[in-house]
Each structure stands twice: as structure tokens, then as C-alpha cells.
Amino acid sequence: MHKLKENELLALTQDYPHWKIDPDGKAIRADFTFADFKAAFAFMASVAAEADRIDHHPEWFNVYNRVQIRLTTHDADAVTERDHTLARFIELAAQASGVQPAAILA
């Protein structure tokens, strides 16, 4: 299982602007806001089906139209290629569900 190196983690956050690296470098997090609960839940259903298919699962939290996600590979205690693959799917699923753009932080 390939653990992402620092430059690979930084590239990921540039490719997918919702994502940030945890201070300890062992997880990545994203915060998505949708129009309403229905859109948020449609997004979660899509991600849940993919997570089950690839046997790699998000840690997540939902309130109404907001979904917060943390990705890490528990078996490796690190961010791996499996998290990268799921993050890519999550980005596309979020776009398909009409996610609000990520805030650009200075």
C-alpha cells in the first residue's frame, strides 16, 4: 500500500481544493455544503456505494446540508493511494450533487 509523500499530499490539495491535510499528516479532510439535506444525502449515498465497492471507508459527519469527511487508511495509519482514489471519487460525486465551491483561503 503506497503511503503518499508530502509532495503528493500537496498536489492532491491543489487538484481538489476542498481537501486539507491534518497537522500530523496522517489524514485529509474536506467540508462540503450542498443546497439542502436531500442533495447532501444523495452525495453520501453515492460515496457509500463506492466505499463499499472498493472496501475503503470514510469517517464522516452530516448535519442538514453539510458533510464533513476525514480520510485515512487505518491499516497503514497514514494517507495512502486508497485515500487519494476515494477523494477523487468524492470530488466528482460532490460536483454531481451541486456542491458549493470551496472557499479559497489566503
Ligand X SMILES: C[C@H](O)[C@H](O)[C@H]1CNC2=NC(N)=NC(=O)C2=N1
Binding site for ligand X (CB under 6 A): 55-57, 73-75
| CB nearer ligand X, residue 39 or residue 58 | 58
Would you give the DSSP letter of residue 5?
Answer: P
Q: How far is the CB of 32 from ligand X (least distance, A)?
A: 18
- Reported residue count of the chain is 106
What DSSP line would sit under 25-90, residue for residue? SS-EEEEEE-SSHHHHHHHHHHHHHHHHHHT---EEEEETTEEEEEE-BTTTTB-BHHHHHHHHHH
Q: How far is the CB of 65 from ligand X (least distance, A)?
A: 24
In this structure, are residues 35 and 49 in contact, taking their beta carbons and an 8 Å threshold?
no
Q: How far is the CB of 64 from ligand X (least distance, A)?
A: 25
Q: How far is the CB of 91 from ligand X (least distance, A)?
A: 17
| CB nearer ligand X, residue 36 or residue 75 | 75
Beta bridge partners of 71: 28
| CB nearer ligand X, residue 24 or residue 55 | 55
| CB nearer ligand X, residue 20 or residue 26 | 26
